[in-house]
């Protein structure tokens, strides 16, 4: 009979890594099974030809995200202020962009002010709600671009109650792009994993979890792993692909099936110098058309400069249809139209298409698409027998952010301890 661990953690993203850290603090014997060959999940990095390392997944944090800020400090990471001096640009320029964006921000506050439990919201999508607001077409486009840019799904598919509930938990007063991490936020995940030694097994996708009187038995890469309890720290869509034996209760199955992965492509564009600053521009560009496109400056002090570009929601789905060379050309063309012809002279360009990612799904977070699934998050948080679910999506604060993943991972351990 193989060793029986106290807890099996499935997934070494920030939810899994934070859960493991809490379990180890409590003196538990833990094993972590990670499907990919690396840790971090939706936090990942790559290196430009000139040796500069950049985050190709999550990148930004702000002071309001206290758990991730504390972890970064504990591991000695450097917070770099996102360069924002100068004018931001709206594409294409409208007659009164400041007014349209101010109205769009006001719309978001209005939406947050709704009560997600209000029965009047039943059956409405975010698109239905937007159509009922008396706002200019430019304001409506700016709002749609913000929502599809952040939630990575078409607004016609997002239940209104879900967006209200989700957005009310994103409580930052500072801009969420206040800082990025000099060494990359991915290096934090690597540092946290380094302490795990042989407790961490990468390249071990869990395909089946069987529960019995003694706990759980997981199947991964031809091995069986036994533990008294399990924390499934993967996004809901990925958790729904694991076979559970005996089958999950129907309510839990329905709760896992209520989610859809998002679609996002992240591009990092390297230049010799931050040429946009010559014209007094910040490098921040918000596109109303196409909807779901955004860029900003993530240059560090020293030689070279970097712009990050996000292509989110239906736009990512559309732009990924063609060859990658065309996608790269389109990105540079859009930047040149917004910031000047020099934007076409990139010295390096990293494109990371997260859409349909084998182990993470696609967007910043999975979103609920089932209009009836109002209790899906509570059902998943409650878990089932010896199994708990933890991922950024289920966090009571900052869902679908690294901060939320940390909170959710720790909360799953708390819930598990209460059960013992």
State the residues that interact with ligand FAD by CB under 6 A: 10-16, 33-36, 41-43, 57-60, 205-206, 233-235, 238, 242, 264, 266, 354, 359-360, 364-365, 391-392, 400-403, 405
What does DSSP assign to residue 205? -
Hey, is 22 helix, strand or coil? helix
Of 34 and 377, CB closest to ligand FAD:
34
Of 83 and 94, CB closest to ligand FAD:
83
Instruction: List Cα–Cα distances, 91 to 141, 142, 315, in angstroms.
Output: 11, 10, 15
State the minimum distance, in angstroms, from the CB of residue 71 to ligand FAD.
12
Q: Is 248 exposed, middle or buried (0-12, 13-18, 19+ CB in 10 A)?
A: buried
**CA–CA distance, 332 with 314 (Å, rounded to integer):** 20
State the minimum distance, in angstroms, from the CB of residue 391 to ligand FAD.
4
Of 154 and 361, CB closest to ligand FAD:
361
State the minimum distance, in angstroms, from the CB of residue 304 to ligand FAD.
21
State the minimum distance, in angstroms, from the CB of residue 238 to ligand FAD.
4
**CA–CA distance, 40 with 28 (Å, rounded to integer):** 22
State the minimum distance, in angstroms, from the CB of residue 86 to ligand FAD.
21
State the minimum distance, in angstroms, from the CB of residue 79 to ligand FAD.
13
Of 13 and 149, CB closest to ligand FAD:
13
State the minimum distance, in angstroms, from the CB of residue 115 to ligand FAD.
25
Nearest to 408 by CA among 372, 377, 367: 377
Q: Is 128 exposed, middle or buried (0-12, 13-18, 19+ CB in 10 A)?
A: middle
Of 114 and 400, CB closest to ligand FAD:
400
Of 233 and 285, CB closest to ligand FAD:
233
Instruction: List Cα–Cα distances, 58 to 148, 149, 354, in angstroms.
Output: 17, 14, 11
Torsion angle, alpha carbons of 52, 54, 56, 62, to 10: -170
In contact, 178 and 61? CB cutoff 8 Å: yes
**CA–CA distance, 363 with 191 (Å, rounded to integer):** 24
In contact, 383 and 415? CB cutoff 8 Å: yes
Of 104 and 395, CB closest to ligand FAD:
395
Nearest to 404 by CA among 412, 75, 375: 412
Of 140 and 232, CB closest to ligand FAD:
232
State the minimum distance, in angstroms, from the CB of residue 254 to ligand FAD.
20
**CA–CA distance, 386 with 230 (Å, rounded to integer):** 6
Of 124 and 300, CB closest to ligand FAD:
300
**CA–CA distance, 59 with 37 (Å, rounded to integer):** 21
Of 14 and 161, CB closest to ligand FAD:
14
State the minimum distance, in angstroms, from the CB of residue 116 to ligand FAD.
20
State the minimum distance, in angstroms, from the CB of residue 2 to ligand FAD.
18
What does DSSP assign to residue 283? E
| Long-range contacts (CB closer than 8 Å, 24 or more residues apart) made by 220-225 | 220/33, 224/2, 225/2, 225/5, 225/8, 225/31, 225/33
């Amino acid at each position: 009979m193989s060793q029986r661990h106290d807890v099996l953690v499935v997934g070494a993203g920030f939810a899994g890594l934070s859960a493991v850290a809490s379990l180890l603090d409590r003196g538990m014997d833990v094993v972590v099974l990670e499907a990919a060959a690396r840790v971090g999940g939706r936090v990942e990095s790559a290196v430009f030809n000139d040796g500069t390392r950049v985050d190709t997944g999550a990148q930004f944090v702000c002071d309001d995200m206290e758990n991730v800020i504390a972890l970064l400090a504990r591991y000695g990471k450097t917070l770099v202020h996102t360069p924002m001096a100068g004018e931001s640009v709206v594409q294409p320029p409208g007659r009164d962009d400041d007014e349209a964006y101010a109205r769009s921000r006001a719309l978001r506050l209005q939406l947050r002010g709704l009560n997600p439990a209000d029965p009047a919201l039943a059956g409405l999508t975010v698109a239905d709600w937007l159509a009922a607001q008396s706002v200019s077409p430019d304001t409506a486009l700016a709002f749609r671009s913000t929502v599809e840019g952040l939630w990575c799904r078409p607004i016609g598919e997002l239940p209104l109650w879900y967006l209200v509930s989700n957005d009310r938990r994103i409580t930052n007063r500072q801009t969420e792009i206040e800082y990025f991490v000099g060494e990359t936020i991915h290096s934090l995940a690597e540092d946290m994993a380094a302490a795990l030694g042989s407790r961490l097994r990468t390249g071990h996708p869990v395909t089946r979890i069987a529960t019995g009187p003694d706990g759980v038995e997981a199947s991964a890469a031809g091995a069986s792993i036994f533990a008294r309890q399990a924390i499934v720290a993967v996004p809901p869509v990925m958790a729904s692909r694991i076979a559970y034996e005996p089958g999950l209760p129907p309510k839990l199955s329905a709760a896992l099936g209520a989610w859809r992965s998002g679609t996002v492509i992240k591009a990092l564009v390297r230049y010799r110098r931050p040429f946009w600053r010559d014209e007094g521009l910040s490098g921040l560009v918000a596109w109303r058309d196409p909807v779901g496109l955004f860029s900003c400056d993530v240059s560090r002090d020293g030689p070279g400069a970097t712009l990050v570009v996000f292509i989110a929601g239906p736009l990512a789905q559309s732009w990924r249809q063609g060859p990658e060379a065309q996608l790269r050309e389109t990105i540079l063309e859009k930047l040149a139209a917004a910031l000047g012809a020099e934007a076409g002279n990139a010295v390096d360009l990293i494109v990371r298409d997260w859409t349909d990612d084998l182990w993470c799904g696609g967007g910043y977070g999975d979103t609920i698409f089932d209009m009836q699934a109002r209790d899906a998050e509570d059902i998943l948080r409650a878990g089932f027998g010896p199994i708990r679910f933890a991922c950024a999506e289920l966090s009571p604060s900052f869902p679908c952010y690294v901060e939320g993943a940390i909170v959710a991972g720790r909360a799953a351990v708390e819930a598990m301890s209460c059960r013992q």
